[in-house]
Amino acid sequence: MTFFQALEKSSAVELYTYLTLILVCGLLYIFSDYLKICTLAFRLPGPTAYPVIGNCLDIARKDLISREMAQAYKNYGPLARVWIFVFPMFVVFDPNDLKMILSSKKHTNKSMFYKLLHNFLGRGLITSSGHKWSSHRKLIQPSFNIAILEKFIDTFTDSASSLIDKLPKEETILNVTEYVNNCVLDILNEAVLGVPVKSVDKKEMEQSPFRQGKVVAPYRITHPWLLFNSIYKLTDAATAELNQKKQLDDFSRKMIRRRREILKTLSPSDRRCLLDFMIEISNENPDFTEDDIIDEACTFMLAGQDSVGAAVAFTLFLLARHQDHQAKCYHEIERHIGTDCSKPPSAEGIRELRHLEACIKESLRLYPSVPLMARKIGEDVRVGKYNLPSGTEIMILPYATHRLEHIYPDPERFDPERFGDGAPHQNPYAFIPFSAGPRNCIGYKFAYIEMKTVIARVLQNFHLSPAPGKEEVQPIFRMTLRARGGLWVKMTPRKVVVS
């Protein structure tokens, strides 16, 4: 008797039982990977998770999460788990384990949670995966070679000089964060969009949606019912986010049209911007559309603002607290680029600011601008005694990895010599402020040159010292690392500094 003949002779109860079994088996097959991952999650240590909402309440407490991260390796070992709603994620801390994941082209897909950024960053290099990411990376990478990047030093210098002009001319205590963020946005306006800081279009740029952008993804993660698009799209937050995305797209299209016209008459000696390179890529590669240009422009503008701004502000704050390293940086600046602020520094001079670069790196170790990253692994990975199945969501916490005591003794101490010329070679996956491997930040060299130029300009003009009563910093977690209450520094014009 065949299966179908048996069904024909079955009673209603038997038929219902058969169909139920088929449905259950089908669901078990579909969710077998998820159940396998959940089973592993229940075996691993991690912060206390609540039914259904998991660790979402912990994530909402931005000050708590920084304290928890700093002690995570001590508390849980090299592999831990967290729950985002009903989705388990596995936190990998050790550089050797991170190397297996970050160095492999089989694990370049981003976590499903990056989809929450599509209405903010678009589908650019940060949020895309698979063929789109690899093809865009290959096309854009040549625009970030060091010879091209060093041509942006004049742009960095102009914006840094504008920052100096806006700072008070007498000794004062101020929150450097806002000043630095505006400077970085000025840099990106010219370097990405081609609008110079001294341009007549400055009023227009003040109204730029890139200056006013707001990311909603963290709010959705801490309110897990909003992870479902069918619910989220009914909210005012979704409407506001879509309106913001439309403003970003419309503004970007306007900038693209402007640069297309300018490119027709651009001479070899004129400054170029990243938009120019992407327009040329699009002209030569029809698959790289105007929508792709917009997504990548949004990625560079929005991701580049907070990350570099935070790094510069934290470095200035730390140099104010550590006078010996500030003095060493200043003498290095005197030696290699001089103190005449009317002259832009040379590329060679910026390259020679090695102690300043070490200070920036140590600042990024302590306060990485992007404190959290996530990947979806493409094949089984062995981490310690556990086998992580393909499809597992991995969380990477630079804030925690940068505090591993067996790699960085006395990890809370600011010690730029960890990155000095005589420092011992370390595992490259132990320092990951810009990620690492094939999916590292495409603009990290750009960022280092930018940060060195801006900080050097500030130190040429001001001596920094701690602001009384504001010497401590309390990091809080958003999309980028911030300091609660800002970063306050006493700034004294160099001409009134008494040696």
Binding residue numbers for heme: 441
Q: Are 475 and 481 in contact (CB under 8 A)?
A: yes
Annotated binding site: 441
Cβ-Cβ contacts under 8 Å for 4 (sequence gap 6 or more): none
Distances (CA, A) of 288 to 134, 220, 276, 277, 454: 12, 31, 14, 12, 33
Phi-psi region of 368 (alpha: psi -120 to 50; beta: other; left: phi over 0): beta
Q: Which two tokens stand for residue 379?
A: 């094949």
Q: What is the DSSP string of 276-312?
A: HHHHHHHHH-TTS-HHHHHHHHHHHHHHHHHHHHHHH
Q: Residue with structure tokens 């179908």?
A: 4
Q: Which two tokens stand for residue 310?
A: 């935070």
Q: Which two tokens stand for residue 151?
A: 């041509």
Q: Are 410 and 403 in contact (CB under 8 A)?
A: no
CA 148 to chain centre: 22
Distances (CA, A) of 228 to 127, 233, 370: 18, 9, 25
- Torsion sign across C-alpha atoms 34, 39, 45, 48: positive
Q: Which two tokens stand for residue 400?
A: 């925690």
The Cα 324–Cα 332 span in angstroms is: 12
